[in-house]
Chains A and B, each alone.
Chain A
C-alpha cells in the first residue's frame, strides 16, 4: 500500500469511515472554491473531524507519513487558500458549535467552523454583537476563516478586522505530536478566556492572518459587544472626482464621530454611473454624478447622541460644497428604502457574490488591500495606471476596476476592494492568473497591505520582494517550530520547506 493508503486506514480508524473519503467524486467536489481562475485541485483525501482531539490524531498521522494538509472552513476563499493538490484536505465545518455566550463578561466561545450568519443570528436578537460581522461571504464563511484571513467586513470601520475581536484561540499545531494549545487568558488553565493579553506573549497574533500555515484553529474566544440600538444611514456624493477629498472627509469624520462611526465607505464614480445605467427604471431628472458616493452608518446608545453625530457628519460632508446628500432613488426611482435603519444579513452577506460571475459566467481576480488614509489620492492615480499600462494583456470584454469600493478601517486606513474579470474559458483563466499576479506585485510595491492572502496573494507578496531576508528567515524559523515537517499549507508564502531558497521566486523584472 502507498503511504497515502496507509494514512487513510489509520485516519479511518481514528474518526470512523463516515468522515474520511478518497472517492474521486468527493475530491472533485472539493476541487475549487470561489476562485474560478484557479485550476481544479484534487486532494488525496478529505476528512471531517468533529473535535480537536480527532484533528490532533489526524495531524499525528499526517506527520508520520509526511503528507501535507490544508485546512478549510467555509470554502468561500477567492485565492486558492482552501484547496490542495494531493494531501489531506481538512474540512472543519463539523466543528460548528456555539459553546458559550457570556453576556456578563462580554465574550463568546465558539468552535471555528461556526458561520458568521449562525453566530450573529444567535447574538443580535439578544442585543449583542461581535462588532465585526464577518466577510461578504458570511452566510457560509466560518469564524476560523475570518481569523485565518484577517478579514474585514461589516462593522470593520469601528471594530477593526476579525483578529481585533479575538481574545484567543485553541489551535492544533501541525507538529508530530499534534499539540493542542490555547492562547490569551485561556492559556492559564485556571482562567476563563476573557482577555487576550497578559498571561504570556500574544501568541494569538501568531495565528491571526496566517492563512492556515501555523496552526489549525478549532476554537475561538471572541469579544462580545452590546449592540447599540440606534443606527442611521447617510449617503453623500462628492461634487468632484477628487480622492484627496476622500482622504480628508474620512479623516474628519473619523476625528469627530469616531465611536459612533460603524461604517464608512466610498463607491467610485464609474461604478455609481454603472449602477445608474443598470437601473430598470430611469429617473425623470438626470442625476448629477460627479464624484464618489459615500455611505456612512452611525450607531449610538442614545437617540440624542446619534442626532449629534448626524449633525456633525452633515456639517463635515457638506462644508465648502465638497459633497451633497444623496438618495439612491436619484439613480433608481423604484428602490425601496426603509425609513428606519434595518439590520439585513442579506445586504451584509450577499452584495459581493452576485458580482463575481455575471452572465455569461466569468472568472474574477480580486483583492482587498489596505492603504494609509493619506495615500488615497496618489493610489487613485497609481492603481489605475497599471491597467492602462497593461491594457493589451486584459482579455477582450474584461472589466477592470482599481476599486469597486473603498472602506474606512480603524486608525487611518482604507481597504480598497477591486479587481478584474474575464470569460470563463481555459486560456483566459491562465492569462488572467498571470496578470493577476502582476497586479498583486504592483499593489504590494506601492505599499498595499493585503488580507485574505490564500495562496496567490501570499505568494505574490514573496515574489514582489516585500519581505526582507531577515523577515523570511524569522518566518521560516517560526514555521519550523510549530511545523517541523512543513506539512501545513506548504504552498502559501512559498514556504515549501525549511531549506528552500525563497529568492528563486522573486520576480525582479517588473520592478
Chain B
C-alpha cells in the first residue's frame, strides 16, 4: 500500500516535507477563492488580492497552489521558472488561511514551495540582488549599511549605541525605516516617543542586521539563515531582554521565525505600539487629541501572519486603542483578519512592482471611501507601497505612521 505521503517528499522536497501531510487536508473547496460575508464579525469582501489583480487562474490563489504542491508530491509536476512566475505573485498575506476551515497556515506552504524553487535554481531572478545584498551588505536595499545611523543624527537627544552600551530595550529599527529617506520619520518618531516616555533604549545603528524577512518570504533560506545567525550573535552579545520594533515585518520575523533564538536568550519581542500603550496605561499619560480623522490599515505581519503562523495574539486592538485617543477613527470596509493586504509583501514589491502598486491602489481607494484625512499604519513597508499608490492615484489622503501621529499627540 503506497500512501500519497510516501511519494518521496522527504528526499525531493525537504522544505515541504517539514510541513507533514497537512496539504492533503486541503479539500479544494475554494473558500480561499471567494468569501464574501457581511455577517462576519469583521465583514469579508473577498479574500485574495493577488487573484483580484492578476488573470486569476487557480494558481494565483491558495487552492491552486495547494493542488500544485500535491501534484509535486505525487511526481506529476516539476519545479520550473514558469511556475515561479506565478507562485511569487502572492504577498503571502495569509488571508486564505483565515478563510480556511482547516486551520491551514497557507503562507508556510508558499514559503516552503518558494524555498524548493530557490533550491532548484528556479527562484525569481529579481529577488537575487535583494537577498545577496541582505547577506553581503546586511540590508536588502543594496545600500551601505552605514546609512542606517543617519536618522539617529537627526535627533536632538542622544540614543544609546547597543554595540557599546547596555539598555533595557533594544529598538530594532528595520531596513525600510532606516534606509528609506521618506520613511525615516518612523524611526525618528519612535525614538522621540521612547525618549518622551523615559524608556531606556538603544539602537544598533550601522551594525543592525536585516531581520531576514525578505529572504524567508522569498524562499532564500540560506540568506535568511545567514542574517538570522548574525542577529542571534548580536542579541546574545548585547544581553538585551526586550526588543521592540516599529516594523511589522521585523516584528513577525523576530517573534515567529526567531522564536527558538528569542526563547533561548530569554528575549521578549514587542511591536512599539505594545510597549507605548503599556507605558501610557501604567503612567496614565494623557494624549492630546489631534482633531483629525484617520483610518487604520492592519499590516498582515501584525495581524493574520502573527496569529496564524506565529500563534501570537494579532495586534488588532493596540494600535486602534492608541489611535482612538488621538484621532477620530473611521474604519475601512475590510479590517483586522478580513483586511485587504497592501500588496507589498512576499517579494511582490521587488518582483512585480506593478502588481504591488495595483493592489495598493485598491487599498487606498478603500481608505478614501472612509473620508479620512490620514491613512495610518504601523509598517514602513506597507507605508512605502501605499504611499506609492497615493502618489499614483493623486489621492488627497495622507499616509502616516502611527508613531508620527503619536509623537504629535505626546507634546
Do residues A29 and B4 form an inter-chain contact, with CB atoms below 8 A?
Answer: no
Which A residues are in CB contact (< 8 Å) with B83? 25
Known: A93-B33, A121-B37, A357-B102. 11 other contacts (CB 8 A): A25-B80, A26-B57, A28-B67, A29-B67, A117-B35, A121-B45, A139-B30, A345-B38, A353-B29, A353-B31, A353-B101
Do residues B71 and A426 form an inter-chain contact, with CB atoms below 8 A?
Answer: no
Do residues A25 and B82 form an inter-chain contact, with CB atoms below 8 A?
Answer: yes
- Using A26-B59, A28-B76 as known contacts, say yes or no to A346 and B4 having CB atoms under 8 A apart: no
A76 to B77, CA, bound (A): 23
Partner of A350, one of B25, B30, B56, B101: B101
The interface residues of chain B, by DSSP majority, are classed as: loop
Q: Mark A20-32, 1 if CB is under 8 A from B, else 0.
A: 0101111011111
Q: Which parts of B33-79 form the interface with A (CB within 8 Å)? A: 33-40, 43, 45, 55-59, 63-65, 67-68, 71, 74, 76-78
* Interface segment, one of A33-41, A61-69, A257-265, A321-329: A33-41
Which A residues are in CB contact (< 8 Å) with B2? 425-427
Which B residues are in CB contact (< 8 Å) with A48? 55-57
Does A344 make an interface contact (CB < 8 A)?
yes
Do residues A19 and B55 form an inter-chain contact, with CB atoms below 8 A?
Answer: yes
Does A160 make an interface contact (CB < 8 A)?
no
Ranked 4 nearest A-B pairs via Cβ: A29-B64, A140-B30, A361-B24, A28-B71
Partner of A30, one of B40, B58, B65: B58
Which A residues are in CB contact (< 8 Å) with B30? 74-76, 137, 139-141
A307 to B27, CA, bound (A): 42
- Which residues of A pack against B, CB within 8 Å? 18-19, 21, 23-26, 28-34, 36, 40, 46, 48, 74-76, 91, 93-94, 115, 117-118, 120-121, 124-125, 137, 139-141, 342-346, 349-350, 353-354, 356-357, 359-361, 424-427
CB proximity of B51 to chain A, nearest CB, Å? 9
**Nearest A residue to B4 by beta-carbon distance?**
A424
A117 to B80, CA, bound (A): 36
A25 to B274, CA, bound (A): 43
CB proximity of B2 to chain A, nearest CB, Å? 6
Do residues B40 and A345 form an inter-chain contact, with CB atoms below 8 A?
Answer: yes
A93 to B77, CA, bound (A): 25
A19 to B60, CA, bound (A): 13
CB proximity of B323 to chain A, nearest CB, Å? 27
21 residue pairs of the A-B complex, CB under 8 angstroms, read: A24-B77, A29-B63, A29-B65, A30-B58, A34-B27, A40-B74, A40-B76, A46-B57, A74-B33, A93-B34, A115-B34, A139-B31, A140-B30, A343-B39, A353-B102, A356-B27, A360-B24, A361-B25, A424-B4, A425-B1, A425-B4
Do residues A93 and B56 form an inter-chain contact, with CB atoms below 8 A?
Answer: yes
Does B86 make an interface contact (CB < 8 A)?
yes
**Nearest B residue to A17 by beta-carbon distance?**
B55
**Nearest A residue to B20 by beta-carbon distance?**
A360
A117 to B99, CA, bound (A): 13
Which B residues are in CB contact (< 8 Å) with A356? 27, 29
A49 to B219, CA, bound (A): 34
**Nearest A residue to B46 by beta-carbon distance?**
A118
CB proximity of B220 to chain A, nearest CB, Å? 21
Partner of A140, one of B35, B43, B59: B35
Which A residues are in CB contact (< 8 Å) with B58? 26, 29-30, 75, 91
A29 to B57, CA, bound (A): 9
A28 to B71, CA, bound (A): 6
CB proximity of A55 to chain B, nearest CB, Å? 16
Partner of A25, one of B63, B68, B99: B68
CB proximity of A72 to chain B, nearest CB, Å? 10
A34 to B63, CA, bound (A): 11
Q: Mark B84-96, 1 if CB is under 8 A from A, else 0.
A: 0010000000000
CB proximity of B410 to chain A, nearest CB, Å? 40
**Nearest A residue to B43 by beta-carbon distance?**
A121
- Using A139-B34, A139-B37 as known contacts, say yes or no to A94 and B56 having CB atoms under 8 A apart: yes
Partner of A345, one of B34, B39, B65: B39
A118 to B74, CA, bound (A): 35
**Nearest B residue to A359 by beta-carbon distance?**
B25
Which B residues are in CB contact (< 8 Å) with A349? 31, 37
**Nearest B residue to A344 by beta-carbon distance?**
B39
A117 to B30, CA, bound (A): 12
A88 to B38, CA, bound (A): 35
Partner of A31, one of B29, B56, B71: B71
Does B21 make an interface contact (CB < 8 A)?
yes
Do residues B77 and A426 form an inter-chain contact, with CB atoms below 8 A?
Answer: no
Does B3 make an interface contact (CB < 8 A)?
yes
A50 to B332, CA, bound (A): 29
Partner of A125, one of B25, B38, B80: B38
A124 to B36, CA, bound (A): 12
CB proximity of A306 to chain B, nearest CB, Å? 21
Which A residues are in CB contact (< 8 Å) with B285? none
Does B197 make an interface contact (CB < 8 A)?
no
Do residues A426 and B57 form an inter-chain contact, with CB atoms below 8 A?
Answer: no
- Using A30-B64, A350-B101 as known contacts, say yes or no to A25 and B59 having CB atoms under 8 A apart: yes
Which A residues are in CB contact (< 8 Å) with B28? 32-34, 36, 75
